[in-house]
Chain A
């Protein structure tokens, strides 16, 4: 059994419950335990950095300090949380002045951080802590022939140092292949989904989402698989808005990679949670999934 501290993050917790339930169920199948960090707070994301940098670092530092009490790697499921927590960790190590100030602020809450926690993305954990053979041995449902576009998004592999190539990563590709599905070429696999600009600059973000859908579809994908609740929500929930704006007709299911793994492992459908996906995936899956 492998143990990890688990940081769901606000986005996943609020609007992507199926990512949470499928990730936990998949971890269980793979003999991993994701122990949720008690009373975690928001990572602060990019906006807080801009408004007040030190406060943003301290948002992360509280979570890191809580994780340090337990000692396991801190696993984030959201690429933004992963990046932001990691950035605080790096600044903490590189800038003595920031380190000093962070600990001075933490002391006001009775906390301390020594800098010993490794922050990881759940994709890294599932792709690199377990062998491909071990994953393949857990597959109960045949997914062969299902054409999947592996979408990493930007913040899971950038900036460097990263657990995979910063522009053309392979870990998700390998994972999808080891559960028996087919991976299609996806040149835009690490291009941005528009992120939070979907709220403040919707037109610009919709244009970026359209490019992703177009690229996946023209490479023959029947679905896109994502590793971040931001990306999933933008491409899934805003697909109909893209269609209205550009007079297009996209109908591409957007699944979390843990949902697809869950289907392959035959975990209960409640944990897979396909009913939460806005663009329905049942038809595409029904054509391929053979028990």
Chain B
């Protein structure tokens, strides 16, 4: 294990510095989050285990796991946590750290989707679903696009795929990008 003792506080501090991550130290390991999570059984480590590992400073094991990428953001753990922790935000913080440090699990395609999505929001100001879906499948595996064909055809047949879609007015797009450029320059929320 590559974990070093001095890394314990560093990792916890990194998580605590992100909005919603502050309460990680309040966890009593009751496991309510894991019992509530619809995807806990598909995760390398359940939400409760993930919090315990994070507090033990197991940075690399935590950040390279698939666990947080399977979080659905359904907030069931959050409304049930007896300590008022927001495990959903902790999952988001871990996803963010994994991405920032290039440690994202190679077994999940969710990080690719997230990146593509965010780039599109910046460039277009909107998410055209059809374009986004197509680009995602082409990027991860063009053959997997074949699997999506029946659903795509159904949607097309029912008039639910707009190839052109809505466009933001040029001045609105410029305004949004100016705001986002400045946000980026300000270097994060924490």
B38 within 8 A of A: yes
Q: Which residue of A lies closest to B114 (CB)?
A: A47
Contact A15 B96 (CB under 8 A): no
CB of B119, distance to nearest CB on chain A (Å) = 8
**What 1/0 flags go to A9-20 for Cβ under 8 Å of B?**
011011111000
Give Cα distance in the complex from A233 to B113, angstroms: 18
Q: Which residues of A contact B5 (CB under 8 A)?
A: none
Segment among A24-32, A128-136, A159-167 that sits at the interface with chain B: A159-167
A195 within 8 A of B: yes
Q: Which residues of B contact A262 (CB under 8 A)?
A: none
**What 1/0 flags go to A40-70 for Cβ under 8 Å of B?**
0110111111111111011101100000000
B101 within 8 A of A: no
Segment among A108-116, A137-145, A247-255, A282-290 that sits at the interface with chain B: A108-116
Contact B73 A155 (CB under 8 A): yes
Q: Which residue of A lies closest to B155 (CB)?
A: A237
Q: Knowing A98-B189, A276-B160 touch, does A55 contact B184 (C-beta < 8 A)?
A: yes
Contact B165 A14 (CB under 8 A): yes
Give Cα distance in the complex from A197 to B111, angstroms: 11
Contact B125 A41 (CB under 8 A): yes
Q: Which residues of A contact B86 (CB under 8 A)?
A: 159
Q: Which of under 10, 10 to 19, 20 to 34, or 35 or more describes the interface residues of B? A: 35 or more
Q: Which of under 10, 10 to 19, 20 to 34, or 35 or more describes the interface residues of A? A: 35 or more
Contact B70 A10 (CB under 8 A): no
Contact A39 B79 (CB under 8 A): no
Contact A197 B19 (CB under 8 A): no
Q: Knowing A108-B179, A109-B179, A237-B154 touch, does A57 contact B189 (C-beta < 8 A)?
A: yes
The residues of A with any CB-CB pair to B shorter than 8 Å are 10-11, 13-17, 39, 41-42, 44-55, 57-59, 61-62, 91, 95, 97-98, 101-102, 104-111, 154-155, 158-160, 166-167, 190-192, 194-197, 199-202, 204, 208, 233, 237-238, 240-241, 275-278
The residues of B with any CB-CB pair to A shorter than 8 Å are 18-19, 38-39, 42, 70, 72-76, 78-79, 86, 88, 92, 95-96, 99, 108-110, 112-115, 117-118, 121-122, 125-130, 133, 136, 147, 150-151, 154-155, 158-162, 165-166, 168-169, 172, 175-176, 178-184, 186-190
